[in-house]
Copies of this chain bind each other. A is one copy, B any other.
Amino acid sequence: MVRIGSSSHGESRLRMLRVMRRGDRHDPKELSVSFRFEGDFAAAFREGRAGGLLPGEALKNIVHRAARDYGAGEIEEFGLALCERVLAQQPAITRARVEITESAWARLDVAGRAQGQAFVAGPPELKTAAVTSNGRQSSVVSGLAALSLMRTAGFAPARGEAADDGIADGLPRLLVAELSAKWTYSSADVTFRTYRQGVRALIVETFARHASRSVQHTLYAMADLVLASYQEITDVTLALQERPYRPADLFSAGVDNPDDLFVAVEEPVGVVEVTVERDS
């Protein structure tokens, strides 16, 4: 006999733009929503029964109404509302997961004056939120993704290496990387905006200032600092993907290169990931 170990279905990439118009000052939010639903859908799989599924049109209506009500606020609140409404409408779904990403738009600056109704796309960095709910309990994980960072100095030798003894040879002179972060709240009742700003500031500050012995070393320092600063955060996951560069061989070109020219190589790509959690 066989059994269904797990199953899910969903819709991904419902993309929309929510424009808040307060007089002459507008504010756009570009959002992308994805759903995954779980439940007892054995009859759908085994026998092809249609019951219990949420039709695409009904789902779209839920998303549009919720975007109207919550799209102007924090994506975590929007995600909580979406989970609640989906579970209310289709009882066969026992667990809903919604993932939301928000892209940045900045106000256009014309002759030093910020415009009210014209905008330019911001950096590729995304705000992310993942809300999971079974109708009684909700889990909120906030995050950021596609944060491209560069550091051109300030690296320390790894401990346990010769360089640790004062010979600072062979240190890297460049790190270019894409960082993503996720952190879980112990409650769905926090001011998400404030936490997001605070966590991002700690991550970025650590990247800029930490006497980094390695990527591992710096990621841990970031996570440690976040957990020490915010009791309402129970765990932090950080992933860093390096964009590889190597110093240009200017010797064969007949000139020296005091670490000022690097050539991009695309592969292989180094990845480090760590989850640090509160030791309860």
Contacts and interface: CB of A to CB of B under 8 A. Distances in A.
A171 interface: no
A166 interface: no
B149 A5 contact: no
Contacts of A3: 276-277, 279
Interface string A1-27: 111111111111111111111001010
Copies of this chain assembled into the complex = 4
B9 A216 contact: yes
A264 B29 CA distance: 12
Interface in A7-66: 7-21, 24, 26, 28, 36, 41, 44-51, 56-57, 60-61, 64-65
A178 to B, nearest CB: 9
A167 interface: no
Given A7-B275, A9-B216, A65 B260 contact: no
A115 B208 contact: yes
Given A108-B207, A110-B208, A17 B245 contact: yes
Nearest to A121: B148
A156 interface: yes
A16 B264 contact: yes
Interface string A199-235: 0010011011100111111011001100110000001
A44 B11 contact: no
A148 B120 contact: yes
Given A44-B214, A68-B260, A213-B48, A271 B117 contact: no
A257 interface: yes
Residue of A20, A71, A160 most packed against chain B (CB within 10 A):
A160
Most buried by B among A26, A217, A264: A264
Contact of A150 (B56, B64, B119, B124): B119
Contact of A276 (B2, B11, B249): B2
Contact of A123 (B8, B111, B120): B120
Interface string A247-280: 0111011110111111111111111111111110
B108 A120 contact: no
A111 to B, nearest CB: 7
A87 interface: no
B273 A8 contact: yes
B274 A214 contact: no
Contacts of A73: none
A217 B47 contact: yes
A122 interface: yes
A67 interface: yes
A204 B108 contact: yes
